[in-house]
Structure 1
Amino acid sequence: MFNYDLSAAVTLMAALLGSLQWYLSWRASSRERDSDLTRWGGEVIDLMAELETFCDPIVKVGTVDLPAVERLSFRASALVDKGRLFFPNVKGGRQSKDDEGTRINLLDEVLRACYVARHLAKHGDTNNRQLREQVWEMRGRFIGLLQKEMSISLRKVHKDQGGQHVPTNPGQWPNPQRKLLLPGDQPPK
């Protein structure tokens, strides 16, 4: 009654399953890359925040641990190279055939962090408000550039989800609505 070629159906089914498997594998590797890129970006942000504090600490007690600052410089240098695993150099900017290319602008921000850490470790110039502001600004640029690179996989945010201004002085915040109970506190009656 039905006349069909079984081998053609099996071939078609195998092709469909192969395509589905390829697509799922591609999506998994894409998610893994996003996860690795997010982890790397988080390390850079942590380093920049720590470096910013070393530039001009709020609490100015004792001396700055210069070896710790130097460790930040080699961490930053390593993060530049790790970043090259995601973002290879841009080729063709120079005429030399030995041109290794130029790093992308996102990695420039990480390299700046390395240079600031080396400067601080060498000169011990740790009460430098302007340098702190430069590191703060470079961190913002880095985050913006990383978000552009990850734009496809970033969660979409609607205007109505925007936050409000948060005063920098916690004394200006409204009183808490929930009662915090710590060990030793008397429970409410």
Structure 2
Amino acid sequence: MIRFVDVHKRFGDRVVLDGFSLDVPDGQTTVLLGASGAGKSVTLKHVVGLITPDSGHVEVDGQRVDTLDPAGLAALRRTIGYVFQFAALFDSLTIADNLRLGLVRQALGDDEIAHRCRRRWRMSGSPMRPSAFRRNSRGGCGSGRGSPAPSRCARVTFSGMSRPPASTP
């Protein structure tokens, strides 16, 4: 469960969140829609502890994000897949290596990492070989900016995308 409780956030004179409250139960898909600058990305950044509320709080599975120590915050982030608004895959890595990025900090064995990457690659339907470099990719799992592929390889409790591309399934 993700819970926003009377969250307020401002940047200078600009109020971005003004008493925002929302409960997102486990397993529920929730979409935040709004105009540019409405606070969607700011809302998601609170969930992963990239920013903290001026007042109010955010809970993930009953834990207040703003009270977590660095180890607790790192543990929380390992359960969350987050794709930044202008994210891109690393051109210097193969597509398979980009897929592994979301898994290497989870203390999984090489076989489990390979299994998860192969499974997600098959699900993507991409015609590219996973051994290809991202700069050669045109669509599919390694589609470039905003690609959620690395976070989808991990088993996550929450996956957030800030302004996903129109081609994202």
TM-score, length basis structure 2: 0.26
More strand by share: 2
Higher relative helix content: 1
Using structure 1 for the length normalisation, give the TM-score: 0.24
